[in-house]
Amino acid sequence: MEQVPTIKPKRVVTSAIEGMSVKDVRRCLNAVRGQWMNANTEPFFITNPVSSDAVSIQMFSLMFVTGQHKKRHGAKPSCDKNYTCK
């Protein structure tokens, strides 16, 4: 019997931060990475701005981690106190 290849549906890429596009999030991550790599010549402060909206590295990082957590754990079924999942 011949195996028919299965076609996976395309994943929809969504932003981890509400109100920012995926492109903007990637741009900010690149800016944080660049500032960290230059930390030996320029001081690295988490209060430095990371975007043109004057969002600090600290605030961006908090929004990013919180958004990633919501995306990952929002897909799981919710459970009540008795651990009965819906």
In which element (H, E) is residue 37 found?
A: helix 22-37
Per-residue model confidence as pLDDT tens digits over 31-57: 999 999 998 888 899 999 998 788 999
Per-residue model confidence (pLDDT) at position 81: 60
What is the pTM for the complete model shown?
Answer: 0.70
CA distance linking residue 58 with residue 51, whole number of Å:
12
pLDDT at 46 (0 to 100): 92
- pLDDT for 75 equals 62
Given a cut of 60, whether residue 73 has pLDDT beyond it is yes
Which structure tokens are listed for 19?
A: 């109100």
